[in-house]
Structure 1
Amino acid sequence: MNSTARDYGEGIDPERALKYAIQHHRGERTEIVEGVIDNVTPSWDHENAAEEIRDQIRPRVKELDCVTGSGNLDLPGSPNWYVPDLAVAPRELTKGGGALLPDQTLLVVEITSEFSAETDRVVKRKRYAEYGAPLYLLVDRVEKTVTLFAEPGRLGYTKVDGPHPFGTAVRLPEPFGIELDTSGL
């Protein structure tokens, strides 16, 4: 290696470099889970589940002056950059084009597929709690259940409601204060 190449490598933060590359990648939904780059290509069934939830929470989201979407979530100090299936965030935080932190959301929703089920059930649940996402809704299409995690802490969520079979009404606590119909998931 010549001295010029060696000089450029000094002082580069690998986490920052990796996250920069993901942000400027031309793929639609690319995330980093525990240092592994993953291109997310949801199926129509997957998108239908997200739309069912979005449609039900939309009136309350508007009242709260929030936005729903699949925007980037950064988990600083870790090799993670998530693109949730659905998140709710205050409108003023979504202006500016940057990633949000999980604790800046009101709700994060992940919808499992055959390939992402264990990641969504274990890894993302742990990380969302660690980074303060107040509510994490896991729609497990493999098990056909819905679980709501609340009260995040460094060791995980301290309150768990579920798993409930599809078709069970699940209450989203304040600031939502609504019953989520899971029969269409």
Structure 2
Amino acid sequence: MTTAHDYSEGIDPEHALKCSIQRWVGDRTQIVEGVIDNVTPSWDHERAAKLVRRQIEARVDELGCVEGSGNLDLPGSPNWYVPDIAVVPDELADGGSSLLPDQTLLIVEVTSEPNAETDRVVKRQRYAEYGAPLYLLVDRPDKTVTLFSGPARLGYTGVDGPHPFGETVRLPEPFGIDLDTSGL
């Protein structure tokens, strides 16, 4: 006679889910408030991210950082994000499978119609809660760019924007550069 074994003892469901996502086929799978989302960006979405990336690359290199779309874990929550762009110190990019939002210098999300509210509301709140110092929201449906700063438990305390596409947006120190939004 075979007896059933309770495998749930000692297994952390959050850890198990996040580990399975790391091994998911495709590198753009994230968890947003407990919902698994395999992100497939459109070409115009990718173009907008590329335009931002090109403008910050030289400064990112000067700062000894790397920009990319690596995994961000939000421990203690049902969230595992893959931002469009995150800037992190080069030494943190070695070997780890994920980083925390407070280890970034800048996070950029480019909205698309299906995920716009997630980027505008949920991710903005969570990035602030987890200490991401700067969150740049490139809102393609609204054709605006907003920079959030001063992370706090209840949200960002600083908001610069929304600026309509075409206006210059200043990325504060440590970047200290102007972002041309005309091609977004």
**Equivalent residues in 2 for 1:17-166, closer than 5 Å:** 17-166=16-165
Letter in 2 for 1:103: D
Identity %: 75
CA distance, structure 1, for counterparts of residue 59 and residue 21 of structure 2: 32
TM-score, with normalisation over the residues of structure 1?
A: 0.97
Per-residue CA distance 1:13-35 (angstroms, 9 max, x = gap): 11000000001112221000000
Structure 1 residue runs of 5 or longer lacking an equivalent are none
The number of equivalent residue pairs is 183
**Post-superposition offset of 1:139:** 0.3
**Which residue number in structure 2 is paired with residue 13 of structure 1?**
12
**Post-superposition offset of 1:39:** 0.2
Per-residue CA distance 1:103-140 (angstroms, 9 max, x = gap): 00000000000000000000000000000000000000
**Which residue number in structure 2 is paired with residue 184 of structure 1?**
183
Moved over 2 A (4+): 2-5
Q: Secondary structure at the match of 1:81?
A: strand
CA distance, structure 2, for counterparts of residue 39 and residue 135 of structure 1: 25
**Post-superposition offset of 1:3:** 4.3
CA distance, structure 1, for counterparts of residue 51 and residue 74 of structure 2: 27
CA distance, structure 1, for counterparts of residue 102 and residue 74 of structure 2: 10
CA distance, structure 2, for counterparts of residue 88 and residue 4 of structure 1: 48
Structure 2 residue runs of 5 or longer lacking an equivalent are none
CA distance, structure 1, for counterparts of residue 11 and residue 159 of structure 2: 40
**Post-superposition offset of 1:5:** 3.1
**Post-superposition offset of 1:9:** 1.7
Q: Secondary structure at the match of 2:113?
A: coil
Per-residue CA distance 1:78-117 (angstroms, 9 max, x = gap): 0000000001000000001320000000000000000000
Q: CA RMSD in A?
A: 0.9
CA distance, structure 1, for counterparts of residue 149 and residue 115 of structure 2: 21
